[in-house]
Amino acid sequence: MTLPIDLADLPEPLAEIVGEADEEELWGDAIDPIEDWLDETGQRPPAVLVALAYVLYRDALDIMVDEVEERGTRALALLDEAKLTKQTAKLRREITRSVSRDRAYTKEREERVAATRERPLEELTREELREVAYNHAKTPAGAAMAARAWVLASNMATTDYDKHDCIGRAALEFAEAGDWAEAMPRLEAIVKAPTDYEGWIADYAWHELLDKAIADGDTAAFEARWSGALAMKRADYFPFSQPKQAEYLEYAVEQKLVAIARHIVGIVMEHRSPRERKPLQALLDRANAL
């Protein structure tokens, strides 16, 4: 599948970005610049809309595989708006097929999981436990069930990696369920030995511990856990989650935690596009005024 328009049809600042993203197969790199351009100019040229549809779809197909239906549906809407029917016919057919396949797979998986849930967790195989845990309802009760499934799956693990993966996921689900008697010792074990786990699990463990400090109104615990989170070696920055950046920045501003506020402002300025920073501008101004 190739880009169905000529790069020369794109505005100059976007042509190079889209061309490089397509050549390097890093389509996600072009999404924010295109959306920023559309937002800042207020224009909706057909070629730009097609380019956005293309990079959204290719990124979902190759990277964000859990978002094929969502991004594919959005891409089809962009192609409708662009009205370049002949040029985009092949791309439209491919996106439509992918969205249909994804919907069918999702339905099949939901039916399989629903049938599995009717049996006691203790009777399930390792693979069934993992599927139930991955596809639980996003509620405290669902998280509690997923946590139990991960604990049982950990007892069937055949490698240290698999065992730690299950234990780490169980800890996070116990926290989401609000079962802190089960969550806290597991989370503390993760952050004491983060290299035993995938980096994202250790980062999420810090997120859960920081959230608990905020919920408890314990500023001292928040500061101590923040220092621990920043001290952990990682390949990426912290906090990486945009919703958590906003939440922690607001808390830091309210509690006048200047160093923490400045750190988060730096992360936001470096890693968020101008369009993504707009909703936070008032909060950024308050942080900068500390």
Query: Do the domain assignments include residue 275?
Result: no
Write down which residue in 70, 89, 109 finishes a domain.
109
Residue 128's pLDDT is what?
86
Write down which residue in 214, 234, 258 finishes a domain.
214
Task: Report d(CA 62, CA 50) in Å as an integer.
Answer: 18
Q: Give 195's DSSP letter.
A: G
For residues 126 and 101, state if they share a domain: no
Residue 109 has pLDDT above 80, yes or no: no
For residues 105 and 123, state if they share a domain: no
pLDDT band at 194 (very low <50, low <70, confident <90, very high): very high
For residues 157 and 200, state if they share a domain: yes
For residues 100 and 147, state if they share a domain: no
Q: What percent of the chain is predicted at pLDDT more than 90?
A: 76
H or E element at residue 138 = none
Sorted by sequence, the CB contacts under 8 Å of residue 211 that are 6+ apart come out as 175
Query: Do the domain assignments include residue 223?
Result: no
Write down which residue in 214, 243, 268 finishes a domain.
214
For residues 162 and 86, state if they share a domain: no
In tens, the pLDDT along 223-273 reads 999 999 999 998 889 999 999 999 999 999 999 999 999 999 999 999 988
State the chain's mean pLDDT as an integer: 92
For residues 49 and 90, state if they share a domain: yes
Range of the domain at 52: 7-109
pLDDT band at 65 (very low <50, low <70, confident <90, very high): confident
Residue 136's pLDDT is what?
80
More confident residue, 61 or 254: 254
pLDDT band at 117 (very low <50, low <70, confident <90, very high): low
CB–CB of 174/186 below 8 Å? yes
Query: Do the domain assignments include residue 144?
Result: yes
Residue 114 has pLDDT above 80, yes or no: no
Residue 113's pLDDT is what?
65
Number of domains in the chain: 2
- Cis ω before 140 (30° cut-off from 0): no
Query: Do the domain assignments include residue 286?
Result: no
Residue 63 has pLDDT above 80, yes or no: no
In tens, the pLDDT along 75-104 reads 999 999 999 999 999 999 999 999 998 887
For residues 51 and 33, state if they share a domain: yes
CB–CB of 173/147 below 8 Å? yes
- Of the listed ranges 56-60, 105-109, 235-239, 284-288, the one predicted with least confidence: 105-109
Query: Do the domain assignments include residue 228?
Result: no
Query: Do the domain assignments include residue 176?
Result: yes
For residues 176 and 198, state if they share a domain: yes
pLDDT band at 122 (very low <50, low <70, confident <90, very high): confident
Q: What is the mean pLDDT of residues 107-131?
A: 77
Please count the helices (runs of H) and the strands (runs of E) in the chain. 15, 0
pLDDT band at 57 (very low <50, low <70, confident <90, very high): very high
Residue 235's pLDDT is what?
84
Query: Do the domain assignments include residue 137?
Result: yes
Query: Do the domain assignments include residue 233?
Result: no
